[in-house]
Amino acid sequence: MLTVKNLHAGVATQEILHGLTLSAKPGEILALMGPNGSGKSTLANSIAGHPAYTVHSGSICFENSEILELEPEERAQKGIFLAFQYPASIPGVSVSHFLRLALNAQEKARGEVPTGVAPFIKLLRAQMKTLDIPISFAERSVNDGFSGGEKKRLEMLQMLILKPRLVILDEIDSGLDIDAIKIVAEAVHVLKAASPETIFLIITHYQRLLNHIKPDTVHIMRAGEIIKTGSFELAHELEKSGYANL
């Protein structure tokens, strides 16, 4: 269960979210739409604990505990995952190392036995097949020289390896071709099948990704607040008439 209550947040002293309230039940897929600057990414980053964003007041509860006081890595250890709009490159760190160390860090924090190298490579290979990523990428540096589509696939690979309980996809579909969008949707379906209680918060401008993922609820944001909530039909409506009529 994710509950965001009366959240006032922004960058430095500028408030972008003006008392946003939102909740999601286990297993729910939420779509968050809205014009540029409406606060979608601010919400995503506030949940993940991005240090550039400040929460002035309100609360964010995930699985019965307040997460606002937690460091970003502690939130990740609780199973919160944010896929970036613009993923960063890490030259010198291989995809395989990066993903295994991320997984092992989460396992250690949860008191589990860290996955060893051999079983990890098998898991990695299987998930890379799901996402149609050549295995040779496992030895390359994280996002270094990757195309836009390859970077987004790597975000999805992280998601499948870490099996988060709250997934936030922040405009994962921006700049993606139709085939890559289908792969993102497939990754969501694979994770949902493996972890039915995982909540998805999908931030997008376009209906195309939602056609493949089928959200349970669609929220429309404007000027830091949710101004309309509806079913998948609301996304269709928006695609036809834009934000002006809301």
Partner 1 sequence: MSHPLTKPVLAVLAEVQPMLGLHGGSIELVNITPDNIVQLRFVGACVGCAAADITLEYGLKEMLMIRIEEIEDVVAVNAEPVTHDAPAIPLYAHR
- What does the binding site for partner 1 look like in residue numbers (CB under 8 A)? 96-97, 117-118, 121-122, 125, 135, 138-139
C-beta of 140 vs 219, nearer to partner 1 = 140
C-beta of 98 vs 146, nearer to partner 1 = 98
DSSP string, 157-202: HHHHHH--SEEEEESTTTT--HHHHHHHHHHHHHHHHH-TT-EEEE
> For residues 100 and 126, what is the distance between their CA atoms, to the nearest angstrom?
14
Number of other CB atoms surrounding residue 129 within 10 Å: 11
CB of 223 to partner 1, least distance (A): 48
CB of 129 to partner 1, least distance (A): 10
C-beta of 118 vs 178, nearer to partner 1 = 118
- Token couple for 239: 């695609």
C-beta of 16 vs 138, nearer to partner 1 = 138
Residue 131: CA count within 13 A, CB half-sphere: 27
CB of 117 to partner 1, least distance (A): 5
CB of 99 to partner 1, least distance (A): 11
β-strands 141-142, 90-94 pairing: antiparallel
C-beta of 27 vs 91, nearer to partner 1 = 91
CB of 96 to partner 1, least distance (A): 6
C-beta of 12 vs 118, nearer to partner 1 = 118
DSSP string, 66-106: E-TTS-HHHHHHTTEEEE-SSPPPEEEEEHHHHHHHHHHHH
CB of 133 to partner 1, least distance (A): 12
Number of other CB atoms surrounding residue 87 within 10 Å: 18
> For residues 19 and 98, what is the distance between their CA atoms, to the nearest angstrom?
37
